[in-house]
Amino acid sequence: MTNTRTPFARLALVWGIGGFALTAALAGGMNLAAQGIARHDTNAPVSYDAGKFVFDDRGNQAIASGGVIVTQAGLRVQSDRMLVNFTDAGGQLEIQRITATGGVVITRGDERASGDNAIYDFNRRIITMAGNVALRRGSDTLNGGRLVIDLESGLSTVDGAAAGTSSAPGAPAGRGRVTGTFNVPQRDKPN
């Protein structure tokens, strides 16, 4: 997929390993050893918990609904509904992609990402969230329209607006903003 966005078409914020770690370290407000979403073992087994799970063997997919929770090595993905695409490799199912919709929340350690929907692509090792995205670590926050977490490199990108959407009524598509707050080190005031 080719990225055709111009640098000014969408405000993107990229931060280093462990989500906010690099930015927060520069501000002095976050522990670099924190276990963020981007520090995740993508080869670990995946566990499911759902109210209902329907397999479509011919379609190589399953639909989980009813407060679905998926966990993998400390990473937790929770939503109302998930579509799971898989391949059958000699009698062993291999997950290719999870598409989560409805109140999606992804947590690991003290980091929490939420949005309207998310796709976890197991082959590319990328999680993409879209729609009313909020990323929190402790009291540090980032808000935007889309979040892409590259689990391989540890880099994450927050865009102001999800592709094809706008952040305000009447605003041109892709003109959203990334907003947030980072804490700064507190020092005692001189007497």
Higher-confidence position of 23 and 156: 156
Q: Which CATH fold topology does 12-165 show?
A: lipopolysaccharide transport protein A fold (2.60.450)
Please identify which residue in the block is written with the tokens 């999606």.
Answer: 104
Rounded alpha-carbon distances, angstroms, from residue 52 to 39, 62, 71, 118: 30, 10, 17, 20
User: Mean pLDDT highest for which of 61-65, 150-154, 175-179?
Assistant: 61-65
The predicted model gives 127-141 an average pLDDT of 92
Domain layout of the chain by residue ranges: 12-165
Q: Closest by alpha carbon to 14, among 149, 143, 157, 145?
A: 157
Query: Which of 5-9, 16-20, 40-44 reaches the highest mean pLDDT?
Result: 40-44
pLDDT, residue 36, reads: 67
pLDDT at position 30 is 32
Selected residue with higher pLDDT from 31 and 69: 69
User: Which tokens in the block code for residue 102?
Assistant: 């409805």
Three-state DSSP at 128 gives strand
Of 84 and 30, the one with more pLDDT: 84
The per-residue b/e assignment along 153-175, b for 16 or more CB within 10 angstroms, e otherwise, is ebbbbbbbbbeebbbeeeeeebe
